[in-house]
């Protein structure tokens, strides 16, 4: 398993071929992904991959990306004017065929300091694909769509496997059961096994807020807590932390049970416990609300 620190270090690096052309010129309007929206850029524009390469299977694909320059990943501090939308093409790397001529990604950053743009689209078959941003068509972000049998974690369309997650009444060898700096979150009153028997949709978050205060886990959990207050018991929320103890050296049983190599992950099921969606690696409060609403939890 990647440690949380290793995963986010990898997420923030620029993959091979991911350096974009220097910003300049162009006649596009602001907020549409045109190069002239990136005012204040310190050198060449780069792509920071925010997705794991180990979990993509045919069907819905979600590829969150952030933008960077030579000084690092670009944030919301106002030093660079970032676009509200990015557009891209998806190409089959083997044949060179354009699979998707135009896909768009909106900017998300409601409760976090680093914006991201999640490209969401469907791929029907396994293979290696390339995503190219329209603002820099000579640049590639490569991703592989794997055989479902090669991905051990639970997949959309399958029943979410039950697991006895740590609760306030039974820590099951995990200490602390929740590393939220403000104290144990309210999602530890029942196990995932019990939640899946509740007859309600289940929202299951695996993440470690103490070791990801400004990335995704902490703001994601805080956003989920606030969102849950507005849903009037329309779903059951469960949280499992990532490490067995404060040394953060051994994966907790919840991570081992699903054979995870990264975190955070958010699983969403229907009332029968069948997984209908999943968010990986990075998500803000706005995307959480949208995905839950699409799942009928609103």
What pLDDT score was predicted for residue 11? 37
What pLDDT score was predicted for residue 22? 24
**Cα 115 to chain centroid, rounded:** 12
What pLDDT score was predicted for residue 111? 82
Instruction: Measure Cα distances from 128 to 53, 160, 254 in Å.
Output: 11, 27, 30
Residues of the chain with pLDDT under 50: 1-36
- The Cα–Cα gap between 15 and 89 comes to 18
What pLDDT score was predicted for residue 183? 92
Nearest to 242 by CA among 268, 288, 281, 210: 210
Q: What are the φ/ψ torsions at residue 272 (nearest 5 degrees)?
A: -95, 0
CA dihedral 250, 180, 210, 175 (to 10 degrees): -30
For each of the domains in the chain, give its residue range(s) and CATH number, in order of start: 8-149 (2.60.40.10), 192-294 (3.40.30.10)
What pLDDT score was predicted for residue 23? 24
- Rounded-to-5 percentages of helix, strand, coil across the chain: 15, 30, 55
What pLDDT score was predicted for residue 48? 87
What pLDDT score was predicted for residue 59? 96
- The Cα–Cα gap between 100 and 227 comes to 34
Tokens of 53: 């390469």
What pLDDT score was predicted for residue 38? 64
pLDDT tens string 75-133: 888 778 889 999 999 999 999 999 999 999 999 999 888 999 999 999 999 999 999 99
129 contacts: CB under 8 Å, gap ≥ 6: 90, 91, 92, 93, 99, 123, 142, 143, 144, 145
């Amino acid at each position: 398993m990647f440690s949380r620190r290793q995963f986010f270090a990898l997420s923030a690096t620029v993959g091979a071929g991911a350096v974009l052309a220097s910003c300049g010129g162009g006649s596009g309007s602001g907020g549409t992904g045109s190069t002239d929206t990136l005012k204040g850029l310190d050198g060449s524009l780069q792509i920071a991959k925010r997705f794991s390469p180990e979990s993509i299977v045919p069907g819905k694909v979600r590829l969150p990306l952030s933008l960077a320059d030579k000084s690092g990943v670009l944030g919301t501090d106002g030093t660079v004017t970032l676009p509200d939308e990015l557009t891209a093409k998806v190409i089959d790397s083997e044949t060179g065929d354009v699979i998707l001529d135009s896909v768009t990604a909106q900017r998300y950053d409601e409760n976090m300091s680093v914006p991201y743009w999640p490209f969401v689209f469907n791929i029907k078959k396994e293979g290696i694909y390339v995503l190219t941003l329209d603002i820099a068509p000579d640049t590639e972000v490569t991703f592989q769509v794997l055989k479902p049998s090669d991905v051990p974690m639970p997949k959309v369309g399958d029943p979410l496997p039950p697991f006895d997650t740590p609760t306030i009444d039974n820590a099951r060898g995990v200490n602390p059961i929740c590393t939220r700096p403000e104290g144990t979150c309210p999602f530890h009153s029942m196990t995932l096994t019990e939640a899946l028997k509740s007859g309600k949709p289940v929202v299951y978050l695996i993440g470690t807020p103490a070791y990801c205060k400004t990335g995704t886990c902490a703001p994601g959990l805080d956003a989920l807590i606030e969102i849950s207050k507005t849903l009037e018991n329309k779903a059951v929320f469960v949280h499992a932390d990532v490490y067995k103890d404060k040394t953060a050296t051994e994966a907790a049983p919840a991570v081992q049970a699903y054979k995870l190599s990264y975190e955070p992950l958010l699983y969403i099921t229907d009332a029968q416990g069948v997984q209908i969606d999943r968010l990986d690696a990075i998500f803000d409060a706005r995307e959480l609300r949208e995905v839950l609403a699409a799942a009928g939890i609103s």
